[in-house]
Amino acid sequence: MTEISKITTAHLRRLAVVYVRQSTPGQVMANTESTARQYDLTQRAVVLGWPSAAVRVIDDDLGVSGSSTAGRSGFAELAAQVGLGQVGLVLSLECSRLARNNADWYRLLDLAGACDTLIGDTDGIYHPALFNDRLVLGMKGTMSEAELHIL
């Protein structure tokens, strides 16, 4: 199944949310290119079929670690919108922007799978309700959590 074929009219009737996060205020200041690349994902959502007016950016967690959901109001807002069925696609530069902790990651995947919400990063578009996509997303989450302990 191709990236585009996973996107249905039901997804396009809902929001595309670009989630922007970097771990520390220092990274936000020093890595402006990364921040710009994350904001540029709004254009990817448009290319994938969402009207500009239906693309939202959640950037409340800039400068906040993804190791926990504590203090991450942006992640809480994202999860709430997904759980309410308002989001057709969540886009992030890489999955580690969403969560670096498997418990938080799988809660988001469970919500997204149950609410028919796609997850996208620079590698592709995934549907957490599809076995192969969930397997790939699970590996991405595991690698993200491992990086927290290695880096």
Answer whether 112's CB lies under 8 Å from 141's CB. Answer: no
Answer whether 97's CB lies under 8 Å from 68's CB. Answer: no
The identity of residue 94, as a single letter, is E
The identity of residue 124, as a single letter, is G
The verdict on whether 65 is a catalytic residue reads: no
CA dist 35 and 106 (Å) reads: 25
Catalytically annotated residue among 5, 23, 52, 73: 23
CA dist 4 and 48 (Å) reads: 7
Instruction: Tell me the CB-side half-sphere exposure of residue 33, using CA atoms within 13 A.
Output: 0
List the catalytic residues. 23
